[in-house]
C-alpha cells in the first residue's frame, strides 16, 4: 500500500491500536509526524571486526555463524538467561541475553548473523552480552550510523527506527520544499528530501552535518520570519508622540546618579515614546539593577506630555512597593500617583475611579484590579507591567485597551522582568518586544555571599541564624514543598528521579518545618510561614508582617521569588537546593542584599552527585544573573525558559538556542532580506512559506492574514 504524509500511523505494518497509543504519547499521529521526529543521538555501527581481533572496550559489528540451538535457563524469579555460541573462521563468541526469550526462536543454528556489542575478554574465545543482531543477508540497523530516538513505555528504539525507516523510504521525497530556492542557494542548504533521509539514516558524518544544518536553519528561519511579521504588524500601530526632552529634569529629582546601563535603557524607551509608533519594550535586568527608574522616567515623560500611565504588578505588596517608590520619586515634580488594589474599600475604589476618569490621577499603580470593569482612564498613554511572564499577552492587551483619549492611538507598553534570560533567548521568547538589558548594578550594593553546605552543617547553620537575628536582621528559609510527603515536581510529572532515602518526607516542607523551628529550634524567635496555597489575604498578611519587622524568620515556598523589598533581611537559606533551577535560585537570592548590611545565601543539599554539586557551585562563583542564565540554558536546555511564557510561539524540535547562535543570526539575516523584498509574503512563490508560518504560530495565526 502506498503511504502518504497525511496517513495515520496505523497505516504502517505492525502498528495496531496499542502501538498507536504509545506513539501518540510522543505526539506522533501521522507519517509526517514520524518524519519530523528527529533522533536525539546516533550510534556509529559501521566498525566491523572478527571475533579474535575485536577491541575489548568498544562496540563493533561481528559477523558469525550460530553454532547451536540457544539454551534458556531461569536464574531466579524475574531473571531469565538465554545463551548461545557463534563462530567465525578464527574464534568463538559466547552470547548471553537477559530476559529476551524470543532469542531462542530468532537465532537459527547454521545461519549467519551480525552481532553488535562489546566483545569482552581476549584471544579467540570472547563474550558478548545483550548484543543487537540481525541476519547478515538482511542488514537494517548494523553496518550504519543508527538513530537513537526519545522513547516512551511500550516502544523500543528498534521498533521506532523501523517505523521511521519505512516512512523515509516511502515519503521523504514527498516532503514539500517550503524554503524559497534563492534562500537555499544563498546559504548552501541541502534539499528537503536529502535532509529528512539523512537526519534519520545518515550515509556519513558529512551527510548528517548537511541535513542538520538545513533543518536547524529552516526551523530558525520560520521563527525569524514569523517574529518579523508580528513586529511589522505591531510597528504600524500609531502611538502617542511623547517628546523625550525633560530627562535632565527627571535626573534632577533623583538623590543618586543613574548607572550607564539605566541611562541607556531610559534613552531607548524615550526614543520609542517619541517615535509616533506604539512602544513594545522589555526592560530586563537583575534584581536590584534599577528597572523601576526606567519606568519612572517613562511615566515622567508621559506626564509632561499630558498623558496618563498605568503600572500593573503581580501582588498587592509589590504594587504598594512600586507606589511608594514612584510617589517618593515623582510627586515632588507634581505627578499625582494613585494605588488601586483588591483590598481597598468599595468607597475608596469609587473615589479613585472617578478621579482617574476625570484625569486627576497621572499614574495609577495596581494589581490585576486595574483590569476590572469601571476602571477608565481619561488619556492613557503608557502601560507598564512588572514581571512580564506572570501576565499573559491577553492581560497586557486588556490594560492597553483602556486607552481613552485618541482611540486611534495605542498606548505605549513597557514590560519589566527581573528574570535574566540570555539575549538570544529573550529575542525568541519576547518576539513582539524590543529588548533593553540593564547589566549593571548601582554602586554601593554589596554582592551576596553564597555558600553550598551539606546536612552535616545544620547546627552551625542554625547558630548563624541566631547570630543574624541577634544583630537585628531577618532571615528567609525557602522549602521546595508545602506539606510533608508531597512529591517533588518531577515525580508529579512522571519524570521519576530516584526517591530520596527517607521518601518524600526528606524534602523540607513549609508547614511542618515552620512548626518544628518554632517549637524545637527557635522557641524564642518569631517564626512565620507563607506558601502559595494560603488565602491571598493570609499570604499578604504574613509577607507584610515580615516586611514590617514583626517576624524574625519567614519559612516559605518560592512564593517569595517575586516579593516586596525587605532591606533588613540579610540571610536566605534554601533547603533542598538541588530541587531548583539555577535561575530560580538566583531570583530567590535576590530577596536579600537589598539593604546596607552584608548579606548571605546558603544553599543546603544532601545530594552528593558531582554534576549536581558542580551546577550549584556556579551560584557560589558569580552573582551575574545573565551568566547564570546562560549556564542554566546549557545544563537544562531552553525548556525551562519557554514553558508558559511562550505565548503561542512555535516549539523548536532540532535547533538548540544555546549552541546554534551562529545559524540563528544567519537565519534572522535571511528572513530580513526576504521580507525586505516581499514584506507581507504575498508573492505566489512565498505562499507555502506563509502557510507554514501560519501553521507554526497557531495562537497568533491571525497576525499573518
**Co-location of 501 and 605 in the same domain:** yes
Task: Using the predicted structure, report yes or no on whether residue 504 has a pLDDT greater than 60.
Answer: no
| Statement to judge: residues 536 and 494 lie in one domain | yes
Write the DSSP symbol of residue 519.
Answer: I
Identify the pLDDT of residue 491: 31
> Is 623 inside any structural domain?
yes
Q: Identify the band that residue 647 occupies on the pLDDT scale cut at 50, 70 and 90.
A: very low
Residues 182-203: what's their mean pLDDT?
96
Q: At 117, which CATH number?
A: 2.40.50.140
Please indicate whether residue 176 or residue 642 has the higher confidence score (pLDDT). 176
Residues 335, 297: contact at Cβ < 8 Å?
Answer: no
Strands 412-417 and 380-386: parallel
Rounded CA-CA distance 346/565 in Å is 28
* Separation CA 116–CA 113 (nearest Å): 10
Note the pLDDT of residue 548.
92
Same structural domain, 482 and 619: yes
- pLDDT tens-place string over residues 111-154: 999 999 999 998 899 999 999 999 999 999 999 999 999 888 88
Strand 527-530 with 112-117, pairing: unpaired
Within-domain flag for 524: yes
How does residue 641 score in pLDDT terms, banded at 50, 70 and 90? very low
Half-sphere exposure of 624 (CA within 13 A, CB side): 10
Torsion, Cα of 281, 285, 289, 293 (10° steps): 10
CA–CA gap between residue 613 and residue 132 (Å, rounded): 36
Residue 24 within a domain: no
Other beta carbons less than 10 A from residue 68's beta carbon: 13
Last residue of a domain, one of 640, 669, 695: 640
Q: Is residue 611 domain-resident? A: yes
Residues 32, 167: Cα–Cα separation, whole Å: 8
Find the CATH number of the domain harbouring 279: 3.40.50.300
Give the pLDDT of residue 201. 96
Examine residue 342 and state whether it is found in any structural domain, yes or no.
Answer: yes
490 lies in the same domain as 609: yes
In a shared domain, residues 360 and 455: no
DSSP state letter for 265: H
Looking at residue 650, its pLDDT comes to 65
> What SS3 class is residue 270?
helix
Cα-Cα-Cα-Cα torsion 580, 586, 589, 593, nearest 10 degrees, comes to 180
Average pLDDT of the residues in 218-229 = 88
pLDDT of residue 505: 35
- Quote the crossing angle between the two packed helices 205-235 and 687-696, to the nearest 10°: 80
Task: Specify the DSSP class assigned to residue 247.
Answer: H
pLDDT digits (tens, 9 = 90+) for 664-685: 889 989 999 999 999 999 999 9
Summarize pLDDT for 43-67 with one digit per residue, the tens: 999 999 999 999 988 999 999 999 9
CA 177/CA 190 separation, integer angstroms: 11
pLDDT, position 705: 57
Grid coordinates standing for 77?
524469579
User: How far, CA to CA in Å, does 212 sit from each of 209, 456, 571?
Assistant: 5, 48, 48
Which tens digits make up the pLDDT trace of 436-493?
888 777 776 778 999 999 999 999 999 999 999 999 999 999 998 765 544 333 333 2
Sign of dihedral through CA atoms 160, 162, 165, 169? Answer: negative
Q: 27-41, 165-179, 252-266, 371-385: lowest mean pLDDT where? A: 371-385
Say if residue 189's pLDDT is above 50: yes
Which of 583, 614, 640 finishes a domain?
640
DSSP assignment, residue 639?
A: G
Q: What angle do CA 619, 621, 624 make, to 5 degrees?
A: 70
Helix (H) or strand (E) holding 115: strand 112-117
- What phi-psi label fits residue 290: left (phi over 0), alpha (psi between -120 and 50 degrees) or beta? left
The parent domain of residue 514 ranges over 449-640
Strand partners, 73: 81
pLDDT above 90 (res 610): no
Q: What are phi and psi of 610, to 5 degrees?
A: -60, -40
| Mean pLDDT for the stretch of residues 399-423 | 72
pLDDT, mean of residues 159-171 = 95
Three-state SS across 415-465?
Answer: EEECCCCCHHHHHHHCCCCEEEEECCCCCCCCCCEEEEECHHHHHHHHHHH
Indicate if the pLDDT at residue 428 is higher than 80.
no
Which pLDDT score, from 0 to 100, does residue 263 have? Answer: 94
Whole-number pLDDT of residue 177: 93
Q: What is the pLDDT of residue 394?
A: 55
How many CB atoms are closer than 10 A to CB 218? 21
Question: What SS3 state is found at 61?
Answer: strand
Confidence of residue 527 (pLDDT cuts 50, 70, 90): very high
Residue 366 falls within a domain, yes or no?
yes
Same domain for 265 and 377, yes or no, is yes
Contact between residue 675 and residue 230 where contact means Cβ atoms under 8 Å apart: no
Give the DSSP H or E segment for 31: helix 31-35
Mean pLDDT of 187-203: 96
Cβ of 62: how many Cβ atoms within 10 Å? 26
pLDDT at 643: 38
**Do residues 418 and 586 lie in contact, with contact meaning Cβ atoms separated by under 8 Å?**
no
Collapsing DSSP to helix, strand or coil, 139 comes out as: coil
The C-alpha angle with vertex 135 and arms to 133 and 140, in degrees rounded to 5, equals 75
Lowest mean pLDDT among 166-170, 183-187, 610-614, 650-654: 650-654
pLDDT tens digits, 335-351: 999 999 888 899 999 99
Taking all residues of the chain, what is their mean pLDDT, rounded to a whole number? 85
In a domain? residue 36? no
pLDDT at site 357: 92
Residue ranges of E strands in 531-642: 553-556, 569-574, 600-604
Mean pLDDT of 8-28: 93
Same domain, 462 and 597: yes
Q: How many Cβ atoms are within 10 Å of 703's Cβ, its own excluded?
A: 18
Instruction: Give the span between the Cα atoms of 68 and 85, in whole angstroms.
Output: 6
Per-residue pLDDT averaged across 77-84, rounded? 91
User: 621-658: b or e for each residue (b if 16 or more CB lie within 10 Å)?
Assistant: eebbbbbbbbbbbeeeebebbbeebbbebbebebbebb
| CA–CA separation, 558 and 571 (whole Å) | 15
Contact 281, 414 (CB under 8 A): yes
Shared domain check, 470 and 429: no
Asked if residue 215 has pLDDT above 60, the reply is: yes
Distance of CA 230 to the CA centre of its chain: 22
In this predicted structure, the answer to whether residue 570 has a pLDDT above a threshold of 70 is yes
Query: Do 477 and 624 sit in the same domain of this protein?
Result: yes
Inter-residue contact 198 to 145 (CB < 8 Å): no
Q: Residue 596: its pLDDT value, please?
A: 81
Q: pLDDT at position 9, please?
A: 95
Angle between helices 192-200 and 157-171 (to 10 degrees): 160
Helix 291-304 / helix 316-330 crossing angle, nearest 10 deg: 60
CB atoms within 10 A of CB 175: 18
pLDDT band at 587 (very low <50, low <70, confident <90, very high): confident
Judged against a pLDDT cut of 60, whether residue 640 lies above it is answered with: no
527 & 622 share domain:
yes
Rounded distance, CA 487 to CA 489, Å?
7
Q: In 275-422, which ranges are continuous DSSP H helix? A: 291-304, 316-330, 346-357, 393-400
Closest among 132, 142, 136 to 64, alpha carbons compared: 136
Query: Quick one: 412 and 528 in the same domain?
Result: no
β-strand 60-66 against 79-88: which pairing, if any?
Answer: antiparallel
Sign of the alpha-carbon torsion through 451, 454, 457, 463: positive
Q: Is residue 176 part of a domain?
A: no
Residue 325's CB: how many other CB atoms inside 10 A? 17
Whole-structure pTM value: 0.61
Taking 80 as the threshold, does the pLDDT of residue 311 lie above it?
yes
- The answer on 373 and 473 residing in a single domain is no
10 Å CB burial of residue 521 (0-12, 13-18, 19+) is: middle
State the average pLDDT over residues 261-283.
Answer: 92
pLDDT higher than 50, residue 286: yes
**What's the burial of 544, exposed, middle or buried (CB within 10 Å: 0-12/13-18/19+)?**
middle
- Which strands, in side-by-side order, build the sheet including 449-453? 449-453, 600-604, 569-574, 474-478, 553-556, 527-530
Domain count, the chain: 3
Please state, for a pLDDT cut of 70, what percent of the chain lies above it: 85
Among 96, 125, 143, which residue terminates a domain?
Answer: 143
Predicted confidence (pLDDT) at residue 430 exceeds the cutoff of 90: no
With 80 as the cut, is the pLDDT of residue 375 above it? yes
Query: Which of 278, 687, 685, 625 shows the shortest CA–CA distance to 441?
Result: 625
Amino acid at each position: 500500500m502506498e503511504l502518504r504524509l497525511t496517513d495515520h500511523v496505523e497505516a504502517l505494518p505492525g502498528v495496531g491500536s496499542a502501538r498507536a497509543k504509545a506513539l501518540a504519547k510522543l505526539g506522533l499521529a501521522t507519517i509526517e509526524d514520524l518524519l519530523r521526529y528527529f533522533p536525539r543521538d546516533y550510534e556509529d555501527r559501521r566498525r566491523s571486526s572478527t571475533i579474535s581481533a575485536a577491541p575489548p572496550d568498544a562496540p563493533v559489528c561481528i559477523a558469525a555463524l550460530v553454532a547451536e540451538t540457544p539454551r534458556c535457563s531461569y536464574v531466579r524469579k524475574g531473571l531469565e538467561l538465554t545463551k548461545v555460541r557463534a563462530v567465525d573462521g578464527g574464534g568463538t563468541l559466547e552470547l548471553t541475553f537477559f530476559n529476551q526469550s524470543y532469542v531462542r526462536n530468532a537465532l537459527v543454528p547454521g545461519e549467519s548473523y551480525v552481532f553488535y556489542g562489546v566483545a569482552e575478554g581476549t584471544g579467540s574465545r570472547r563474550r558478548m552480552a545483550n548484543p543487537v543482531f540481525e541476519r547478515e543477508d538482511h542488514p537494517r540497523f548494523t553496518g550504519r550510523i543508527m538513530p537513537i530516538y526519545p522513547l516512551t513505555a511500550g516502544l523500543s528504539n528498534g521498533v521506532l527506527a523501523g517505523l521511521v525507516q519505512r516512512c523515509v523510504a516511502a515519503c521523504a521525497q514527498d516532503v514539500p520544499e517550503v524554503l524559497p530556492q534563492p534562500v537555499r542557494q544563498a546559504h548552501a542548504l541541502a534539499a528537503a528530501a536529502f535532509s529528512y533521509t539523512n537526519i534519520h539514516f545518515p550515509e556519513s558524518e558529512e551527510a548528517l552535518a548537511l541535513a542538520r544544518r538545513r533543518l536547524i536553519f529552516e526551523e530558525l528561519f520560520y521563527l525569524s520570519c514569523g517574529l518579523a511579521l508580528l513586529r511589522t504588524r505591531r510597528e504600524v500601530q500609531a502611538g502617542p508622540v511623547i517628546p523625550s526632552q525633560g530627562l535632565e529634569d527627571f535626573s534632577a529629582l533623583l538623590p543618586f546618579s543613574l548607572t550607564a546601563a539605566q541611562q541607556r535603557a531610559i534613552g531607548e524607551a524615550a526614543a520609542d515614546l517619541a517615535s509616533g509608533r506604539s512602544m513594545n519594550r522589555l526592560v530586563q535586568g537583575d534584581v536590584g539593577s534599577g528597572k523601576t527608574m526606567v519606568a519612572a522616567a517613562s511615566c515622567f515623560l508621559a506626564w509632561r506630555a499630558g498623558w496618563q500611565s498605568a503600572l500593573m504588578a503581580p501582588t498587592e505588596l509589590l504594587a504598594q512597593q512600586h507606589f511608594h517608590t514612584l510617589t517618593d520619586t515623582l510627586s515632588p515634580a507634581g505627578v499625582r500617583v494613585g494605588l488601586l488594589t483588591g483590598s481597598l474599600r468599595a468607597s475608596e475604589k469609587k473615589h479613585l475611579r472617578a478621579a482617574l476618569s476625570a484625569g486627576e490621577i497621572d499614574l495609577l499603580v495596581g494589581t490585576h484590579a486595574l483590569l476590572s470593569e469601571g476602571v477608565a482612564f481619561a488619556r492613557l498613554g503608557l502601560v507598564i507591567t512588572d514581571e512580564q511572564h506572570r501576565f499573559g499577552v491577553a492581560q497586557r492587551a486588556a490594560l492597553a485597551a483602556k486607552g481613552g483619549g485618541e482611540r486611534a492611538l495605542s498606548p505605549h507598553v513597557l514590560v519589566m522582568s527581573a528574570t535574566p534570560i540570555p539575549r538570544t533567548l529573550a529575542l525568541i521568547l519576547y518576539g513582539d518586544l524590543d529588548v533593553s538589558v540593564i547589566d549593571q548594578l548601582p554602586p554601593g550594593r554589596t554582592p551576596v555571599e553564597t555558600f553550598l553546605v551539606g546536612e552535616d552543617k545544620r547546627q552551625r547553620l542554625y547558630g548563624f541564624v541566631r547570630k543574624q537575628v541577634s544583630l537585628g536582621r531577618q532571615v528567609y528559609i525557602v522549602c521546595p514543598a508545602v506539606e510533608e510527603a508531597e512529591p517533588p515536581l518531577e515525580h508529579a510529572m512522571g519524570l521519576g528521579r530516584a526517591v530520596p532515602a527517607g521518601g518524600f518526607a526528606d524534602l523540607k516542607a513549609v508547614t511542618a518545618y515552620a512548626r518544628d523551628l518554632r517549637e524545637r529550634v527557635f522557641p524564642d524567635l518569631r517564626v512565620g510561614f507563607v506558601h502559595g496555597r494560603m488565602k491571598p489575604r493570609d499570604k499578604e498578611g504574613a509577607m507584610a508582617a515580615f516586611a514590617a519587622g514583626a517576624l524574625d524568620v519567614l519559612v516559605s515556598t518560592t512564593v517569595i521569588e517575586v516579593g516586596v523589598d525587605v532591606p533588613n533581611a540579610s540571610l536566605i537559606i534554601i533547603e533542598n537546593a538541588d530541587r531548583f533551577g539555577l535561575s530560580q535560585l538566583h531570583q530567590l537570592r535576590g530577596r536579600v542584599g537589598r539593604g546596607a548590611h552584608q548579606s548571605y545565601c546558603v544553599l543546603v543539599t544532601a545530594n552528593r552527585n558531582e554534576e549536581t554539586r558542580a551546577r550549584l557551585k556556579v551560584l557560589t562563583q558569580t552573582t551575574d544573573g545573565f551568566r547564570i542564565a546562560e549556564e542554566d540554558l546549557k545544563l537544562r536546555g531552553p525548556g525551562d525558559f519557554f514553558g508558559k511564557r511562550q505565548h503561542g510561539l512555535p516549539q523548536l524540535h532540532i535547533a538548540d538556542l544555546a549552541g546554534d547562535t551562529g545559524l540563528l543570526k544567519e537565519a534572522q539575516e535571511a528572513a530580513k532580506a526576504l521580507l525586505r523584498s516581499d514584506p507581507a509574503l504575498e508573492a505566489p512563490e512565498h505562499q507555502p512559506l506563509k502557510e507554514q508560518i501560519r501553521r507554526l504560530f497557531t495562537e497568533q495565526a491571525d497576525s499573518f492574514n
